Chains A and B, each alone.
Chain A
Amino acid sequence: MVHALRRARGLLDAGGFIVDVHPTTEQAHLELFTGTDFIRLAERIDDPSPTGPRQRHAAAERAVSSCVEAGDLRQHRDVRFTFHTFADSVDELLEHLSVKWKTLKFEDEDVRRARASLARAHGSSIVVTERVIASKLTPP
């Protein structure tokens, strides 16, 4: 990842900059959105392997820090934000995840609980929530 950042820096014109957007190490989770409130239902299934999402996101953060500390890049600004994916049914959401977000999985029991919560709360949505960081990096 450090290599990728350094290579990206080498592809910049004078005055250019790098934008990095990646999830934080906070686990993505499942929520019920009632129209006014988000109610947390479950965490994603954690994958503790070195290639698991949290480990990759932590490595991305370390790579940015390493490049800044080494003087390869300057961190101009960064912002953390919440990224939502909304669906009107659990099946619709699971189908979407199976195609677009294959590493995101929830326990069967949590999925059952989500279905039940959604059935009880007419007009609500089911939501995957993720915390993300966006950074602007410039050559020093």
Chain B
Amino acid sequence: MPVRIDPEHNEQFALSLIDAGFAGARVLEIGCGDGRLTRVIAKDARSVVAIDSDAAAVAELRRGASRNVEALAYEFESFEPGPRRFEVVVFSWSL
């Protein structure tokens, strides 16, 4: 059996406990990595802009991402969203 990451879904449960609802939201995720949490967010969100400085991880995310995910290889400091604003900004293990 392959490596199982958080098979108990404790992270998702914690997000529900803090009332971090993503339903219908425009979400910016900072530090998306290969998209482990992005996929969870994208199930409910209207759209997810997912950024990470690791280009290889972002490429991996792009290969399996749903259509509402825009994955970009950026450091947060250099990310320019233009006029876009978000209902939720998520620091995914990246602060």
A residues lining the B interface (CB < 8 Å): 1, 4-5, 7-9, 11-13, 15-23, 60, 63-64, 76-88, 92-93, 96, 100, 132, 134-136
- Would B91 and A19 count as touching, CB distance under 8 A? yes
Residues of chain B lying within 8 A (CB to CB) of residue A11: 28, 81, 84-86, 89
Interface of A is mostly: strand
The 9 closest A-B pairs by CB, nearest first: A81-B14, A8-B89, A60-B95, A86-B4, A136-B18, A77-B18, A134-B14, A96-B3, A20-B91
For residue B70, give the distance in angstroms from its CB to the closest CB of chain A.
15
B residues lining the A interface (CB < 8 Å): 1-8, 10-11, 13-15, 17-20, 26, 28, 30, 34, 37, 76-77, 81, 84-95
17 additional A-B residue pairs with CB within 8 Å, beyond A11-B89, A16-B89, A23-B93 = A4-B77, A11-B86, A12-B85, A12-B87, A13-B26, A16-B87, A17-B20, A21-B92, A21-B93, A22-B93, A76-B18, A77-B18, A77-B19, A83-B11, A86-B3, A88-B1, A136-B18
For residue A135, give the distance in angstroms from its CB to the closest CB of chain B.
7
Interface of B is mostly: mixed
- Would B18 and A79 count as touching, CB distance under 8 A? yes
